[in-house]
Amino acid sequence: MTRWLTGWRVFPQIVDRLRERIEMTTYPVGTMMPSEAELCAEFGVARNTVRRALALLEAEGLILAIPAKGRLVLGGGKTCGEPYLYQAVARELREQIQRGDLAPGSTVPSEAQLRRSHGVSRSTVRQALAVLEQEGLIVAEHGRGRFVRR
């Protein structure tokens, strides 16, 4: 029978290890952290001890808890206002439109181009484009593509 480690002396060590992994990109920005159960098994500690460590990392802004998804690695590179990848893709396109990099009437990059440049799935790109369409920044023309609204 394995004895679970708990207490205030254990979780700071876990925090240090996880912080180091985030800084060394073992857990890259934008990816999900391992589950609480996986961390418990790895460190041989009780779930409450892992939760204390994760709460501290969240307070430091290194991770963000997303209900029903897990914990997203922010690593200081993302803002807490963008817990989902589609929001970051939409923000980048929005900024390109506002700066004039994508002029009114110009073609928005294709879904395939956006998938490759951001390293995300097709559904993530489609969600980002839907947000921009709802905001009235781009329009979709059936069979032609998406364009920046004039």
pLDDT (tens digit, 9 = 90+) per residue, 113-135?
Answer: 999 888 878 888 999 999 999 99
5-21 as b/e: b if 16+ CB within 10 A: eeeeebbeebbeebbee
Q: Is the pTM of this model over 0.75?
A: no
Domains, in order of start, for the chain? 11-73 (1.10.10.10), 85-148 (1.10.10.10)
pLDDT tier, 3 (very low <50, low <70, confident <90, very high otherwise):
low
Q: What is the mean pLDDT of residues 34-39?
A: 94
pLDDT (tens digit, 9 = 90+) per residue, 59-80?
Answer: 888 888 888 888 988 875 444 4
